[in-house]
Structure 1
Amino acid sequence: MHHSRLCTLVIDCRTDDLAEAARFWSAALGKPVATLDQDGDGRYAELATAADEPIVLLQRVEHESRVHLDIETDDLDAETARLERLGAKRVAFVRGRWWVMEAPSGHRFCVVRRQRAAFGPHLNRWD
């Protein structure tokens, strides 16, 4: 048995100025900027959201700008296998921390480890 849930809306931004993108999305969504440089490498900014809302993360990327979803889980192997049985494909294991997946529809999404200390609400249980 394992658990998973939608955890993050990731706004992929092809830009040299992630802070500018974060300020735009902060104003557009009415969410304050939590950090303009989450990991200290200039690649991630985060907006402040409530514990029962998805995390909103901005990611500086080289590919076209788009939005993708992250699914968090307490068992990365079990969740990626479950999604493969549904028709998804593994694309890449990134930094030894998360899987980039592709849905049968062609949409990319990520399967990540738990992102917040409290692993709920809206938690799915898979046997």
Structure 2
Amino acid sequence: MHRSRVYALLIDTPAPEADQAATFWAAALGATARPLPSEEQFISLHGALPGVIAAVQAVDDSPRFHLDIETDDVEAEVARLVALGAVQVSQWQECRTLRAPGGHLLCVLPVETDRETFEDEAKTWP
């Protein structure tokens, strides 16, 4: 058995437009835009979605939304999602990027939230 939960909603935006997109989404969602100094491609949208991290991510690709799913067993969660029809498209460190049926991207990563939040909110999978 393993556990997983939605960790973040990322608003992927072409890099030259990321600051403008963060300003827009912060105002639209009543959030505060905060650059993440340790990860320059992300601008956090603090307070946008209760219980879920929201951020603008500067990318060298088309604009889109994607979900990050955190789990206590990356291999098991990837296998579960692949069995449901997703296809793994890349891997970066421990993070796996998958494409779901319909074309949407999602990332599977090790637990990022504090252990108490994860234990309270994660779903258990066989």
TM-score higher than 0.5:
yes
Any idea what SS the aligned residue of 2:16 has? coil
TM-score, normalised to structure 1's length?
0.86
Which whole-Å deviations, capped at 9, do the CAs of 1:19-78 have from their partners, x for residues lacking one? Answer: 332221111101112x213425x3111111389521002110111111111111111011
In 2: Cα distance, 1:89 partner to 1:2 partner: 20
Instruction: Assess if the C-alpha contact under 8 Å between 2:30 and 2:48 holds in 1.
Output: no
Instruction: Assess if the C-alpha contact under 8 Å between 1:89 and 1:103 holds in 2.
Output: yes
Percent of aligned pairs sharing the same letter: 37
Moved more, 100-109 or 117-126: 117-126
CA-atom RMSD, angstroms? 1.9
In 1: Cα distance, 2:16 partner to 2:81 partner: 34
Instruction: Assess if the C-alpha contact under 8 Å between 1:37 and 1:44 holds in 2.
Output: yes
1:24 aligns with 2:24: yes
The runs of at least 4 consecutive aligned structure 1 residues that moved more than 6 Å come to none
Task: Give structure 1 stretches of 5+ with no counterpart.
Answer: none
The aligned residue for residue 9 of structure 2 is 9
1:17 CA drift (Å): 4.8
The aligned residue for residue 89 of structure 2 is 91
- Give the letter for the 1:18 counterpart: A
- Give the letter for the 1:7 counterpart: Y
Q: Which has the higher helix share?
A: 2
TM-score, normalised to structure 2's length?
0.87
Distance change in 2, residues 1:104/1:50 (3 Å): closer
Instruction: Assess if the C-alpha contact under 8 Å between 1:52 and 1:121 holds in 2.
Output: no
- 1:105 corresponds, among 92, 99, 102, to 102
Instruction: Assess if the C-alpha contact under 8 Å between 2:69 and 2:107 holds in 1.
Output: yes
1:114 CA drift (Å): 1.3
Task: Give structure 2 stretches of 5+ with no counterpart.
Answer: none
- Give the letter for the 1:24 counterpart: F
The aligned residue for residue 76 of structure 1 is 74
The aligned residue for residue 45 of structure 1 is 43
